[in-house]
Amino acid sequence: MKTAEQSQSPGPRGRNVVLIGMPGSGKSTVGVLLARRSGRGFIDTDLRIQQAEGMKLQQVLERRGLDGFRRLEEETLRALRAERCVIATGGSAVYSDAAMTHLRSLGPVVWLDCGVDTLRRRIGEGGQRGMVRRPGLSLEQLARERRPLYERWADLHIDASAGSAEEVAGEIQKLSGKAET
């Protein structure tokens, strides 16, 4: 049996779970569900950026441009402190080695892998959503460009198109529990 001290200890890497993946893979939606079912807090790093900048993410992107947004995202992620949280990142987080190295120190990084057809069904080509994407690049090209980065940073790989958001959250809970014990 665990002593009171042991059960209060945050344990390996703060018992956070970090979600990465393409826009539309479900990081924000699944993240809240996972937080609720695992008794964790929830942080959406996009909302942190919105709150700090006092405007919607699309406006931040328009004003700062792609590189400016990437720098801001990197700063925000590197400054993040968390304990017992699910952390939903933006899809572009993986462009920053420094940010990902820090996030990895906070907890296992879970890649919500999702085929482009499913992404398109959920978010279309993504034109209405803020995205770090060079003009003219399709969602498919963006996914191909990023795949090696998601692969590189992931401790755990989940098929995020198989099942409802609640089912995906359950799958992550099972896998991340095993990874941390």
Ligand X SMILES: Nc1ncnc2c1ncn2[C@@H]1O[C@H](COP(=O)(O)OP(=O)(O)O)[C@@H](O)[C@H]1O
Q: Which residues are near Mg ion by CB under 5 A? A: 27-28
| Cβ proximity of 159 and 113 under 8 Å | yes
Determine, following the binding rule CB under 6 A, whether residue 24 of this chain makes contact with ligand X. Answer: yes
The residue sitting closest to ligand S3P, measured at its beta carbon, is 90
**Which residue's CB is nearer to Mg ion, number 27 or number 40?**
27
107 binds, among Mg ion, ligand S3P, ligand X, none (CB under 5 to 8 A by kind): none
Residue type, 89: T
**Which residue's CB is nearer to Mg ion, number 106 or number 112?**
112
Question: Is 134 a known ligand-binding residue?
Answer: yes
Determine which helix (DSSP H) or strand (DSSP E) holds 112, and give its type and residue range. strand 109-113
Nearest distance, CB of residue 3 and ligand S3P, angstroms: 39
Determine, following the binding rule CB under 6 A, whether residue 26 of this chain makes contact with ligand X. Answer: yes
* Matching residue, tokens 């034109």: 127
Question: Is 25 a known ligand-binding residue?
Answer: yes
The token duo for 105 is 């120190």
- Rule CB under 6 A: which residues touch ligand S3P? 23, 27-28, 46, 57, 61, 90-92, 129-132
The residue sitting closest to Mg ion, measured at its beta carbon, is 28
**Which residue's CB is nearer to Mg ion, number 107 or number 130?**
130
| Cβ proximity of 160 and 26 under 8 Å | yes
- Among 90, 172, 73, 167, smallest CA distance to 126 is for 90
First CA to last CA across the chain, in angstroms? 15
The token duo for 94 is 């993986």
Give the residue ranges of the annotated binding site for substrate: 46, 70, 91, 146
Judged by the rule CB under 6 A, the positions of this chain that interact with ligand X are: 21, 23-30, 88, 122-123, 164-165, 168
